[in-house]
Structure 1
Amino acid sequence: MRLHNLLCCSTDANFDPDVDSDVKKPATKTDKPEPYSASAAGALFQAYADPDEPATIGAEGFERLCTDANIPLDGAMPLLLAWQLDAKEMGKISKEDWVRGTDALHVSSLAMLALALSDLHALLILNEPSPAPSITTSTPAKKKKGSAEAPAKTSYNRTRYQRYAADPNKAFGELYAFCFVLAKPEGSRNIDMDTATALWGVVLNPRYPQITDVIAYITEAGTYKGVNKDLWSMMLEFCKGVKPDLSDYEADGAWPTLVDDFVSWKKAKDANGNPAEPMAE
């Protein structure tokens, strides 16, 4: 599955999960938070696993899972899900990665999975740390002799969240680097430009709105076909280190050609008050 298709829409316009009798589905799309259990996490995986490949949640199952958990497919949350599960391919989750990831997060319900991803989205994409809840683990407390039954704890394990919150910029860098590896076809050194701009639009844009102009330039130029690891990394550095008005941009700073060309295009456009002609690659 192509990443930008997953972020924007279903890959199969004729697919309707409500009429696919071969695929097991949860009883409800809005389940309540429940204490974590490995068996429940396993059952949740099987509800979305590919009938022909039961050890994998495939593209259609991935989309149904996101839809049932109210995880928007047109934003960064599917990427956060893939990141937290250490998925090897966008739109697919192996049983091994699911078990390891859900155990680390202590999530075994759609509601808790959505909560964990929503917190990460606020912290890393919107740069808005969420207040720590009073319950920080889904492991039930042990009952003391002679005491009343301890209430079940229903929050996910926020150990990862707390690590990310200690240095959000570092954590965002980890997510950003993961996205390139996730989107890069096996055996290739590049990702195609359509995928790169789709990723930049949902991952970089909320933090660095100037990427919108970069995407506009790339689209207008129409000559850039792919993005390698160096360009991917430098685009984040450009957004982080250069002011949106480009007043502190240093042309001799060893920027990739695409960035130099964008800056020339943008400055000419701003100076003339008219759209500048894109420069040749």
Structure 2
Amino acid sequence: MRRSSSSSKKKPAQSKTVDSVTTSTTDLFRSASSKSSTKEMDRIDHLFSQYANKSSNLIDPEGIEELCSNLEVSHTDIRILMLAWKMKAEKQGYFTQEEWKRGLKALRADTINKLKKALPELEKEVRRQSNFADFYAYAFRYCLTEEKQKSIDIETICQLLDIVMGSTFRAQVDYFVEYLKIQNDYKVINMDQWMGFYRFCNEISFPDMADYNPELAWPLVLDNFVEWIREKQA
């Protein structure tokens, strides 16, 4: 019995040693990970300072233009809008330091080369069905230039539609843009109408539109649009 008692006393000591080694290893890993993360954020901050306006501490339109040049993309490239979405940028043409850090940390991009390589993956992420509706709605909000603004002028809407939806729903966008440019009933488009067109593209067969039912609470602009197309096709 004494041997058993003696043996049982040794086990906790061994267990404590193992626990001590495990804890020490975990602490070292956490410390290394923390240092790596800190260095990454320092590089992201340094990158921000290269494009930021020194007086406002914001990346302004001029800084974004320089950024686009270094990324070798046009400022009208949809991936720049996707980058703004990833940052959750609130004001069109401007990135705050917090927005910049949020976006680049999520993309694991602390250099221009890494950011350039991250853009194709970002585009794949945005184009997933689970994300695209959110991005589409964000694109509209991002183009509201004033605090209480609720709608966007037709010319801007046509450009935005081409950038955001043109590659996916080319025919629908071309027809809708043509209609918006010749009609006289609407000078602006609101969020409800904007999201209605997204629903139209995803739910209505085109170009026959046999499944379009004006009784299903579509925005009036789309009722008029469908009627215009049908007259055009007659």
TM-score range with shorter-chain normalisation? 0.7 to 0.9
Cα distance, 1:269 vs structure 2: 0.8
User: Counterpart of 2:29?
Assistant: none
Matched to 2:158, the amino acid is T
User: Does residue 230 of structure 1 match 2:199?
Assistant: no
User: Counterpart of 1:202?
Assistant: 163
Cα distance, 1:74 vs structure 2: 2.7
User: Does residue 180 of structure 1 match 2:182?
Assistant: no
Give 1:47-126 correspondences, 5 Å limit: 47-53=50-56, 55-122=57-124, 124-125=126-127
Q: TM-score, normalised by structure 2?
A: 0.77
Deviations 1:138-176 (A, max 9, x none): xxxxxxxxxxxxxxxxxxxxxxxxxxxxxx212001111
Structure 2 CA distance, aligned partners of 1:63 and 1:223?
A: 36
CA contact (8 A) 1:89 1:182 kept: yes
Q: Which one has the largest radius of gyration?
A: 2
Cα distance, 1:262 vs structure 2: 0.9
User: Does residue 250 of structure 1 match 2:210?
Assistant: no
Cα distance, 1:256 vs structure 2: 1.0
Q: Structure 1 pair 124/243, CA: closer, same or farther in 2 (3 Å)?
A: farther
Matched to 2:40, the amino acid is S
Matched to 1:208, the amino acid is F
Question: SS at 1:57's partner residue?
Answer: coil
Matched to 1:244, the amino acid is F
Structure 2 CA distance, aligned partners of 1:214 and 1:47?
A: 41
Q: Structure 1 pair 78/173, CA: closer, same or farther in 2 (3 Å)?
A: same
Deviations 1:80-128 (A, max 9, x none): 0110111111211001111222222221111221222222324545xxx
CA contact (8 A) 2:64 2:93 kept: yes
Q: Which has the higher helix share?
A: 2
Q: TM-score, normalised by structure 1?
A: 0.65
Cα distance, 1:213 vs structure 2: 0.4
User: Does residue 266 of structure 1 match 2:229?
Assistant: yes
CA contact (8 A) 2:82 2:122 kept: yes
Query: Runs ≥4 in structure 1, deviation > 6 angstroms?
Result: none
User: Counterpart of 1:216?
Assistant: 178
User: Counterpart of 2:131?
Assistant: 171
Question: SS at 1:262's partner residue?
Answer: helix
User: Counterpart of 1:13?
Assistant: none
CA contact (8 A) 1:85 1:98 kept: yes
CA contact (8 A) 2:82 2:126 kept: no
Aligned length: 193
Cα distance, 1:227 vs structure 2: 1.5
User: Does residue 43 of structure 1 match 2:46?
Assistant: yes
Matched to 2:108, the amino acid is H
Matched to 1:70, the amino acid is E
Deviations 1:202-247 (A, max 9, x none): 1111111211100111012244211212111111001110111112
Higher relative contact order (CA 8 A, sep 6+): 1
Worse-superposed segment, 206-215 or 70-79:
70-79
Question: SS at 2:189's partner residue?
Answer: strand
> Unaligned regions of 5+ residues in structure 1, if any?
1-35, 126-167, 272-281
Structure 1 CA distance, aligned partners of 2:63 and 2:185?
A: 35
CA contact (8 A) 1:71 1:114 kept: no
Structure 1 CA distance, aligned partners of 2:78 and 2:70?
A: 17
CA contact (8 A) 2:68 2:74 kept: yes
> Unaligned regions of 5+ residues in structure 2, if any?
1-38
